Copies of this chain bind each other. A is one copy, B any other.
């Protein structure tokens, strides 16, 4: 993706450039005048001069065809303008104007029209309803944001223009620089996928940050982010997480918010670093842009105040990293120049009267220790402390070091100069050790994602034809819910074992079936009209004699039609009954953004009471299937606890993979579950005891 025309235009036109300082079209033009990289033209209906620059009534009058056009005119005039821009072969357009999707149906229609003209005419649009775009490196401010941010190597995309302004203002005060900034607005044409791809190729960008409220093409997003993320870390704050947030999101942008679990899965697959707050975004961006990634979880802390060291230690252990154990050699070195009251264990406490020299020596010694993966430098300014000099020594001491170093100095005015020095020299500084540690945790997780082997989705041998036939048959009958037998046949075609069973329509057939299968057996009612079999007495287990079979059959035929008014009963399914093992639940629902999302959980109360389930988007690698199991709290029960023998875990993982393959192969399947899958000690014991498949309505297909 080439964003050249947007960020390094030779000629820029502002359509709707205004002489009125209160108008957006004025602010944008004024900001653009500072651009040193090309010429800027004002276009407005009366051809008015603005800020000493000529105004043009018509695009035809411009001295040159613009390669970038910024649009600030009322929404209803924009379709006509777009047609004109297509004719002129303009390639890049930023529509700042609001009045589209965000105001309701009429605006949505207008937006579709504009997008469609653009797409057919091969014009690319950013917006509408945006703050604009900025290229801090090359002095382009095509926005109504107050001023250009500092130049740096962080790229930012934001679905909210207002938050974008706030973030730029905050970053500016905190000396954080940007490469490029894009306010995405309604994303009528270009969206996060395009910008990620664009920043991938941008040499000025090292880290990509984003504020998102919705992702429209989930699968494409995962694919793009996964690729881009290999080269540049992607940090995203996804808003609209909770039900309330999502409701606010949908009234705001009119976009359908994906479910939280699906976003979590998608971000994890794509290696995206998730920010929880706006502060988080920049905390993370600094760590990832300025410092190498830690090769392990072992963090060393150097402090001049015991209390600060304790806070850091709490954060390190509390957040799942480890306090590095320093080698004897390192401790000897530390002991050689520190006073006896100092602590040469991690956190290394060099005491309150420590000057910059002791900081430097301690840093040098600890950085060399092969048991240290990252360093956290703390300073609480005390009577004898010179924070600026300490910062300078830390900066010198970390030159060329291949381990991340972060600083957390306590206070404000006393350390301001030190913090500015850190910023200028790309040492991330945080106002508390806790925040530094949070960034180290994220860097560590990103490193692990980078180091993981490439995702390989194995293709297991299955019988797709059989499934296709079953689904076709259901479609013919207009059924959205597949019968239990057919659902089981689908899973069998995909390599899962199902219990032996016989459909019986009479009492005698049922008895004969049971004899054939061997007692005890299970009997289940078969009826399209019965959704929850158990609730109407439609499931009997442990039937051990012909007498019990007969009783069960007669009672079902007698009672169920009364309980479910007018239910047509096709018969009963008589199945062999297996004992022992564990019961688990496998399921799938389709997320509107990210597609098929698999669920795993231990059956019964573990799902119902403890909600101990895990999710993953299909398809699934072997490792990911195993991770789904391992991430449940109840995994230990499957492995076997207190001397109990474990069950065959691999067969569950394999079943998950087979289901993943099924739902990828058949997008017609809306949701399914196997509840329970019985898992025994041996591979062959694993059986889908009950199964449910629902199809998506035929009209919404394709």
Binding site for B on A (CB under 8 A): 22, 24, 27, 102-103, 144, 146, 158-163, 165-167, 169-170, 172-174, 211, 213, 239-245, 247-249, 251-253, 276-279, 304-311, 313-314, 316-318, 323, 341, 343, 345, 347, 349, 352, 380-384, 409-415, 431-432, 434, 605, 608-610, 633-634, 636-637, 641-642
Contact = CB atoms under 8 A, between A and B. Distances in A.
A307 B159 contact: yes
A242 B314 contact: yes
Nearest to A305: B162
Contacts of A306: 160, 162, 248-249, 251-253
A144 to B, nearest CB: 5
A78 to B, nearest CB: 17
Contact of A381 (B169, B316, B383): B169
A211 B641 contact: no
Nearest to A131: B382
A502 to B, nearest CB: 29
A564 to B, nearest CB: 19
Nearest to A433: B277
Contact of A277 (B144, B311, B642): B311
B172 A412 contact: yes
Nearest to A321: B244
Shortest beta-carbon contacts, A-B, top 9: A166-B410, A160-B307, A162-B305, A252-B306, A173-B412, A169-B411, A245-B314, A162-B380, A242-B317
A602 B372 CA distance: 41
B413 A169 contact: yes
A239 B316 CA distance: 13
Contact of A252 (B27, B166, B309, B410): B309
B163 A245 contact: no
Nearest to A102: B341
B609 A243 contact: no
Contacts of A242: 313-314, 317-318
A311 to B, nearest CB: 5
Contacts of A434: 276-277
Contacts of A169: 381, 410-415
A431 B163 contact: no
Nearest to A307: B160
Nearest to A319: B242
B163 A252 contact: no
A383 B252 contact: no
A244 B314 contact: yes
Contact of A605 (B279, B308, B381, B641): B641
15 contacts: A22-B384, A160-B306, A162-B410, A163-B380, A172-B413, A242-B313, A242-B314, A244-B323, A248-B309, A248-B347, A251-B345, A252-B309, A276-B434, A278-B432, A608-B641
A165 B307 CA distance: 12
B167 A307 contact: no
Given A24-B383, A244-B323, A305-B163, A310 B411 contact: no
B173 A314 contact: no
Contacts of A162: 304-308, 352, 380, 382, 410
A318 B248 CA distance: 14
A241 to B, nearest CB: 5
Nearest to A99: B341
Given A244-B323, A410-B166, A252 B349 contact: yes
Best-surrounded residue of A165, A244, A309, A345 (most CB of chain B within 10 A): A244
Contacts of A24: 383
Best-surrounded residue of A245, A345, A637 (most CB of chain B within 10 A): A245
A303 to B, nearest CB: 9
Contact of A213 (B144, B167, B247, B310): B310
B314 A239 contact: yes
A165 B608 contact: no
B432 A161 contact: no
Given A242-B314, A309-B248, A352-B162, A610 B610 contact: yes
A402 B384 CA distance: 47
Best-surrounded residue of A162, A173, A409 (most CB of chain B within 10 A): A162
A696 B313 CA distance: 32
Contacts of A160: 305-308, 380
